[in-house]
Structures are given as C-alpha cells and as structure tokens.
Amino acid sequence: VLWTLLSPLSCSDFDEMEQLFSQQINPNLDMQELEAMCTEFKNDYNQRHFVRNETFKKAAEGITGETRKIFIEFLERSCTAEFSGFLLYKELGRRLKATNPVVAEIFTLMSRDEARHAGFLNKAMSDFNLALDLGFLTKNRKYTFFKPKFIIYATYLSEKIGYWRYISIYRHLQRNPDNQLYPLFEYFENWCQ
C-alpha cells in the first residue's frame, strides 16, 4: 500500500501509519494533546490572511532579468513543496478516519492549510504569466519510499524549516524595506502563525 507524497519524491506505507496512530495498538497516544492540537487547527487563524490586491501584478512586472528567474524558481519550489504537503496530509486524513478520527482531522486541517498556501503561491505565479500544473505533478512524479517514522520526522522538520525560512525572509524585509520586491513577502508573518 504505497502511494502518496511528502515531497514530490516520497511515498510511505499507510497500513503501518494506521498502526502507528491506532489507540488499540498504541495505547500511550496522548489523545488530550492531540485534541488540543486539533482545536488549534480548527481555529483556522490563517483563514483571512491570503487576500491579494492590485499590487501583486504590478510588482511582478517590475521584476526582471536574473532576479525574475530566481524569484520564479522560488515560487515554483515553494508551491511544489506546499502542494506536496497537501497531498500527503489529505491522504493521511482519509486513511486515518477509522483508526483515529482526531488525528485524521488534524491531517485534514493541515491539508487545508497547505492547499491554501499552494494556491496562493500558484496564483502569484500567474502574475508572471505562469502556473504549475499540479494535477500533472500528482500523476507523473517518481516517488521514493520512506518508512512512516521518517515521514513524521520529515513533516515536523519541513514545518519548522518552512517557518524559519518564511519568518526570516519577512524579518529581513522589515529591516530592509528597499529589498521588498513583491508583496507576497508581506504575508509571511501571518503565514507563520
């Protein structure tokens, strides 16, 4: 039962993942902590943070040359990473419903957030007259198998690294507003909540 993505290159064993989150097999799961996490995700603090305005397209028109090329690559990689998280979390949410509904809901809510981020980034790419075909990515990528414990570690590290990446960019641009080349970065503080 190998399928989904962690990055565009990863898959895992979802039967083993179901066992990991089974309260019958793993009675030491801290359900109180997991329920608190689920409540935090349900609060959906980012729900209204990603609203575009007219400054996006105008800013994109001003980014040229090598800077444009590098920025587009940044958008592509970021969008792909967010979309990969969406696919992984969506599949985990689907597969864990019967095993552990609380954990399933956490992953489903995480998939909501990752989809929101991927969509926002893909829309930013449209300012450059580009878009990623995320459906193609889903169907036509090669996958590498990782054990579930490595998927959990990698998910944690990915979220931590993503947070520090986005918040570091945001803070740098707050200190150096002359380097602000595109309004996407103004959203990074809220993105990190």
pLDDT value for 181 = 92
The mean pLDDT of the chain is 85
Separation of alpha carbons 150 and 152, rounded Å: 5
Predicted local confidence at residue 37, as pLDDT: 94
Q: According to the model, what pLDDT value does residue 159 have?
A: 80
How far apart (Å, rounded) are the C-alpha atoms in residues 137 and 134?
5
Res 93: pLDDT: 92
Counting Cα atoms < 13 Å in the Cβ hemisphere of 179 gives 10
Q: What is the pLDDT of residue 25?
A: 93
Q: What is the pTM of this model?
A: 0.84
**pLDDT tens by residue, 7-45:** 444 556 778 888 889 999 999 999 999 999 999 999 998
- pLDDT for res 12: 63
- 144: three-class secondary structure by DSSP: strand
Burial 158-192, CB ≥16 within 10 A → b, else e: beeebeeebeeebeebeeeeeeeebbbbebbeebe
pLDDT value of position 142: 65
Residue 166: the pLDDT is 84
- Compute mean pLDDT per 10 residues along the chain, 193 residues long, and list them: 40 79 92 96 86 91 96 91 84 91 95 91 94 80 72 82 87 94 86 68
